[in-house]
Structure 1
Amino acid sequence: MDEALRPREREQEARFAALLEALRANAAQRDLAGGHAAAEKQHIADAGLLTLAVPREFGGQFGGNGVRWSEVYATIRAIARVDSALAHLLGFQYLQVASIELWGSPAQRADWLQGTVEHRWWWGNAVNPLDTRLVAQPDGAGGWRLHGRKGFCSGTYGSQMMTVSAHDPATGNPVFAVVPTARAGITVHDDWDPIGQRQTDSGTVSFDNVEVRAAEVLQRPDTPRATLRTLVSQGVLMNLFVGLAQGALEEARAWVLANGRPWVNAGVSHVTDDPYLQQRFGEMRVQSLAAAVLADRAAALLDGAWDEGEALGAATRAEVSLAISEAKIVAHRAALEAGEQLFEACGARATGAALALDRFWRNARVHTLHDPLDYRLRDVGRHVLTRELPEPTLYT
């Protein structure tokens, strides 16, 4: 390593460690309160994390000898251990950046990716082609007018820019674009109130005759590389689950060491000598470790596919998709199981509402409903039996 880089890297590591500690310190209180985490989002921006996925040619940190998806996902996972809602926000920031990198023209990429670095934009997500309530009407000049609503718009509240998909009723196809969040006719509703992931700013956005200029329309190429956006997004979710499993394990350990007592029939004097407690922590560790290893494998395969650029073939892309499904299945289960086993390990006193230790299970439960586990298992099982690889879809 270049010695001149060491002080800078140490400074970045120190800022990141301080950020994690700050997020962990008030995560329970913020989870109970819900709403918009403006101060914490500012801390994330100040830590230099908004541009992690922006290519180096535009002033960011991604590509070349810099950051790869493996490092991006490691960052998301580390934040998810202490606050999966804000890890979700940051992960979707990276997803919108990847969307522009994959679907944008050279001029669009230069404009919006450099703008992300120069203006420290937070990006919101209003891309969900399954939600066809938002309608696009051509304006006759290569642009569109948007009318309707979009739900589950992660990160839009408090954002400066957003990606959006709308339904073209004339063709039945989606229209993808980038618009400033403050554009006339856009209203971001603060109506996100789920049982978990309560600070992801994922409410509804309404569009009233919103202008989309021709230069703002994204042209999604019909290539395997263009479909990597789906895999980037699934990698974000996969690593949220891994982080949740690891975070639940860490919180359970900390609680037991500080407050635990051996069960009356254990025959030991110290809680850490309780054999059944040891077994429980062993199970949690094995599950979270298996999820992490498979997630790392999938990220490495994504790195390789990304590096192929436009030469990426459909078969290689499908192999990455399969690996992500395999990892996501295990991570899905590990996150839910760890959130449940936390209480078996910690006991009744850990159920105090102010502690909000149930947030690990609640956050995992909300996010693991993003797409059905059964269909991922079907894809994996079909591949085992027939060697058939998954086709690109909105979720694979």
Structure 2
Amino acid sequence: MLIISAKEKVNGNLLIAAIPTGRSGVTLINDWDNIGQRQTDSGSVIFEKVRVEEHEILKDPGPLSTPFSCLRPLVAQLILTNIYLGIAEGAFEDAKQYSLHEARPWHTSNMAAVNHDPYILKHYGDFWVGIESTKALTDLAAIKLDNAWKKNAQLSDDERGEVAIRINSAKILATRTGLDITSKMFEVMGSRATHAGLRLDRHWRNLRTHTLHDPLDYKVKELGEWALNNIYPKPTFYS
């Protein structure tokens, strides 16, 4: 199934439809050869006189028509935030196991084992603060979203905006924390940890690929608008 979008010729309104992938006129180009997160699927698709049935157009309630229906992209954003947090936690655990059981102390550290090296401990302290801070912000965002969802049609624009601010904040921190840990984890494991067979670089590759689908700078800009001008993020398919 493909989710496609177009604009009406008469009034320019956005239309969203779900059509079968195998429909005549649809050609999927297998040109997505990315470094990680294979199922992000940003390959090319060619449409040639593709038929769209009336019942395939998603009309009700319509995209971004009410504050409550505008929660849909925020649900997706929070899901992604938890995915990024999960990648960071997975990288942390892999690094921890390697440091404790495989890594060797640096020859000038005067330490018998890596887990007593003050520089290694400093890195793990930073990793821990990053993960715990991200978990706290993500949990707060989830509470805000749950409360907003319960209001259903009574949800106001400002209340929806508060949810967006919380989720944006959590996603920004999850991205930064995840990229930091998945890169710096090699500094606590050493050069042998880069062995291709271990595939420990997969954490960074997956997170780096996935986070580029929604540029972080625009998330930060939205928070800046709120912090300085008290302007909530405008509802879009990404915020």
What is the DSSP-based 3-state SS (H/G/I as helix, E as strand, rest coil) of the residue aligned with 1:308?
A: helix
The whole-number CA distance in structure 2 between the counterparts of 1:204 and 1:167 is: 20
Alignment partners' CA distance in 1, 2:15 and 2:225: 33
* Offset from partner CA, 1:106-149 (integer Å, 9 cap, x none): xxxxxxxxxxxxxxxxxxxxxxxxxxxxxxxxxxxxxxxxxxxx
The one of 343, 361, 365 equivalent to 2:186 is 343
Counterpart position of 1:384: 227
Deviation track 1:90-114 (CA, whole Å, cap 9, x = no partner) reads xxxxxxxxxxxxxxxxxxxxxxxxx
Within 1, Cα distance between the matches of 2:144 and 2:22? 38
Partners of 1:340 and 1:361 within 8 A in 2: yes
The structure with higher relative contact order (CA 8 Å, sep 6+) is 2
| Counterpart pick for 1:174 among 14, 19, 38 | 14
Give SS of 1:166's match: strand
Q: Do the aligned partners of residues 168 and 355 (structure 1) sit closer, same or farther apart at CA in structure 2, a change above 3 Å counting?
A: farther
Between the two proteins, the alignment pairs up a number of residues equal to: 236
Does the residue aligned with 1:346 lie in a helix, a strand or coil? coil
> How far did 1:206 drift?
2.4
For residues 5-48 of structure 1, the C-alpha deviation after alignment (integer angstroms, 9 at most, x for no partner) is xxxxxxxxxxxxxxxxxxxxxxxxxxxxxxxxxxxxxxxxxxxx
Equivalent in 167, 184, 190 of residue 24 of structure 2: 184
Structure 2 partner of 1:195: 35
Q: TM-score, normalised by structure 1?
A: 0.56
Between the aligned partners of 1:166 and 1:258, the Cα distance in structure 2 is 55
What is the match of residue 251 of structure 1? 94
Aligned Cα RMSD in Å?
Answer: 1.9
- Contact kept in structure 2, 1:190 and 1:201, CA below 8 Å: no
> Does the CA-based 8 Å contact 2:26-2:48 persist in structure 1?
yes
Question: Match for residue 148 of structure 2?
Answer: 305
Q: Could you tell me how far apart the structure 1 residues matched to 2:38 and 2:214 are? A: 19
In structure 1, what is the equivalent of residue 66 of structure 2?
223
Unmatched tracts of structure 2, length 5 or more: none
Distance 1:305 1:163 in 2: 27
Structure 2 counterparts to residues 1-396 of structure 1, below 5 A: 161-219=1-59, 220=62, 222-396=65-239
- With the length of structure 2 as denominator, give the TM-score of the two structures: 0.90
Quick check: 1:336–1:364 contact (8 Å CA) kept in 2?
A: yes
Give the 3-state SS of the residue equivalent to 1:209 in structure 2.
coil
1:298 Cα deviation from its structure 2 partner: 0.9
Letter in 1 for 2:166: A
Give the C-alpha shift of residue 209 in structure 1.
2.1
Q: Which 10-residue stretch deviates more, 347-356 or 331-340?
A: 347-356
Per-residue CA shift, 1:331-361, capped at 9, x if unaligned?
Answer: 1100110111111111111111222211211
Q: Is the 8 A contact 2:40 2:210 kept in 1?
A: no
Local SS of the residue matching 2:27: strand
The Cα shift of 1:170 comes to 4.3
How far off its partner does 1:197 sit? 1.4
- Cα distance in 1 for residues equivalent to 2:125 and 2:102: 19
> Which amino acid is 1:212 matched to?
V
Give me the whole-angstrom Cα distance separating, in 2, the residues matched to 1:201 and 1:254. 32
Offset, 1:324: 0.8
* Deviation of the 1:171 alpha carbon: 3.4
CA distance in 2, matches of 1:361, 1:164: 30
CA distance in 1, matches of 2:47, 2:217: 34
Letter in 1 for 2:105: P
Work out the CA distance in 2 between the residues paired with 1:185 and 1:340. 43
Between the aligned partners of 1:199 and 1:382, the Cα distance in structure 2 is 33
